[in-house]
Amino acid sequence: MRYFLFITFCACCYITWGQQVYFNDDSLRMIWGEDVVNVTTGGTQQVSIIGKCDGDYYVLIGNQLEKYDTLLRFKKSKKLSLSYKNKPLTLEKIIASGDQLYVLSSFLNVKLNKKFLFVQTINKISLKLDSNLKKIAEIEIKSPFDAGRFEIKHNDAGQNLVYFIQPKNKRRISVLAYNKNFELEWKNEYQFRNNVLIEQILITKEHDVHVIGITYDLKPNKFKKYKDYNKYEYHILSFFDNGQVIKEHEINLGNKIITSAQMTSNNNQNLLLTGLYMDDEETEGVFFAKANKNSHQVVLEKFYNLGKSYFQEHIYEKGLSRGHPPIFDYVLKDVHVHENGSVSLITEQHYILEQMEHYPPSRVMLFYHHHYNDILLFHFGINGELLWDRSIKKHQYSRNDNGYFLSLSSFAIDDKIQIVYNDTRKNLNPENDKVFAFHNVVSNTVITSVSVDVHKGTIKKSPFTAQKKVDVLLVPKQSIVLDEHLFLLGKKGKHHRFVAFDKQ
C-alpha cells in the first residue's frame, strides 16, 4: 500500500512538475508549461510561434527550432543552420502546413540581380532539415539595398501564398499560389495606378485571393497614414478562378476616409470588409461592407457615425493632443465571424509618445512611452446592422521595451469571445470606477480574461487569481489561435514559458 501511494505521488509530481493549471470562474483554463531557457525579455523578435503539427507545438527561438507536446512540455530542440554548399540562406518563415513542416529561406544573388525563395521540409522527429531544397519564387531586385521582401501566407486548408511588391516597380504586385506541398498552382501580377502598401491578404477556401492595398502618390518612405490621410486610397484586388480572373475595386466613399480595414469571409464565402472611418468634418465611426462571391460586386455598405468625441474619450492622458484625429490611434486587433453569420470587430487604442530628456552636461536620452488602452468592440448582424458596441476599460503602460507585456490576445469559442491581457490587481475591485495603469510590475499583476457574449452583448471580467500571487505575465504579441484554443508566450518568475487557454 505504501509502495502504491509512493508511485502515485511520483506520477502526480511528474505530471505537474514545471507545469501549472489555473481556472477562472468562467471555466476558462490556463495551462503553463515548463521553463523556456533561450528567451530574454524584450527580445520579441526572437520568438516565433509556428503552429501545431501532428499534435505537437513548434516554436522558433532565435535559430533554435523547439518542439512541445500538448501539455506544453519540452520535447526536442535543434539549431537550424540554413546553407547550401557553404552559402548562407536567410530564414523567411517556417510553416506547419498539413502534416508537414516547411522552411522557407531566401538567397540574394547580387551577380544575377535576383533574390530567390526556396522551400524544404523538416523531419518532425529529428528536427533536421531534409535535403530537398527547391526554388519556388524569385524577385528581380533593384539593388542589394532594395531587394524586396517575400511575404508568405497560408490558411488552415493548407493553401500557401507568396506575394511581393516588385522593387523595380512599387506599383506592381506578384502573387504565387501553392498547394499544401508547395507545388505551384497559379501565378499572376497586377499593377496599381500608384505605389501600393499591402494591408492584408485573404485566401478563401475556394483558393480565391483578396488583397487590401493602400495606394498613395508619395515617396515610399515618406508616406504615413495618419499624416497623409487625404492622400491615400483603399483598393481591393481579387484573384478568382485560379488566378485567371482579376478584379480591382477602389473603395470610394466620397468624403469618408478609411483609417483601418480588415477582410474576412463568412460561411457562404462572401467577402466581408469592416473597419473604422472618418469624414471631412472629423466625425468618426465604423463601417461594414459585403461583396457577393459570384458577381464580385459590393452588395451592402453601411456606415455608423459614432460622433466626433467617441474615440477621443478613451484617452487617459488629460490634455493630450496627438496632432491627428484620435481614430488613427485605434488598431484593428481581430475580426470574428460567428456561426450565425454575425461579425465581431475588436479594436484597441495604441500610441507611442516620444520624449527627449537632457542630462547635463551632454547626455541626451530618448524615451518611448507605450500606451495600450481601452478595447472597443463592435458587433454586426448578418445584414451589416450594428447590433451593439461596447468598451472595456484598460490602461497599460511601459517604457522603452516595445510594449512587450502589453496589448491583448483573443479567440472565439461557442459564440463567445475570450480576450486575455495583463492587468493590475488594483483593478480587481469592481466598485472602483477609476482604471489603474498596468506597469509591468509582476508582483501586482493579474491575468484578466474578459468573456463577451455576442448574442446579448454582455461582458464578464474574470481574472485568474489564486490564494497566493501567481507571479505570471503574458506576452500577448506572441500568440496564435489553434483549434479553439490560444497558445502564447508568457513569463513566470525569471523564465519564459508557453501558456495555453481553452474552455473546460
Partner 1 sequence: MYALMKRYLIILCLFLNVGVFAQSDSLDYFFDDGGISSSTKTINLHLLSPLNGTYTISLENSFTKQIGLDIGASYLTNYYHPELEFTSVDFEPQGGFGYSLQPKVYFDIPRTKTLERYFSLLFRQKFYQVELEKSRVYTDIGSTIGLHQDFGRRLVLDYSIGIFYRSYSYSQKVNTKNYLQGSLLALVSVRVGLKI
Q: Report residue 143 CA to chain centroid gap.
A: 31
Query: Contact residues for partner 1 (CB under 8 A)?
Result: 45, 84-88, 90, 107-112, 116, 118, 133, 135, 143-145
Give the dihedral sign, CA 169/112/137/186: positive
Name the residue nearer to partner 1 (CB basis): 81 or 297: 81
What's the Cα-to-Cα distance from 267 to each of 58, 182, 289, rounded to whole Å? Answer: 30, 26, 15
Q: Rounded CA gap, 417 and 164, in Å? A: 33
Name the residue nearer to partner 1 (CB basis): 144 or 493: 144
Name the residue nearer to partner 1 (CB basis): 108 or 337: 108
Name the residue nearer to partner 1 (CB basis): 81 or 295: 81
Cis peptide before 361 (omega within 30 of 0): yes
Q: Rounded CA gap, 160 and 179, in Å? A: 6
Name the residue nearer to partner 1 (CB basis): 140 or 301: 140
Quick one: three-class SS letters along 154-205? ECCCCCEEEEEECCCCCCEEEEEEECCCCCEEEEEEEECCCEEEEEEEEECC
Name the residue nearer to partner 1 (CB basis): 7 or 110: 110
Name the residue nearer to partner 1 (CB basis): 135 or 399: 135
Minimum gap (Å) between residue 332 Cβ and partner 1: 24
Minimum gap (Å) between residue 124 Cβ and partner 1: 24
Minimum gap (Å) between residue 84 Cβ and partner 1: 5
Minimum gap (Å) between residue 115 Cβ and partner 1: 10
- The closest alpha carbon to 369, from 337, 401, 406, belongs to 401
Residue length, the chain? 504
Name the residue nearer to partner 1 (CB basis): 63 or 269: 63
Strand order in the sheet with 458-464: 409-413, 416-424, 445-453, 458-464
Q: Rounded CA gap, 59 and 299, in Å? A: 42
Minimum gap (Å) between residue 404 Cβ and partner 1: 14
Nearest 10 degrees: CA dihedral of 504, 377, 372, 465?
A: -30
Which residue type does 377 have?
A: L
Minimum gap (Å) between residue 48 Cβ and partner 1: 14
Minimum gap (Å) between residue 108 Cβ and partner 1: 8
Minimum gap (Å) between residue 130 Cβ and partner 1: 14
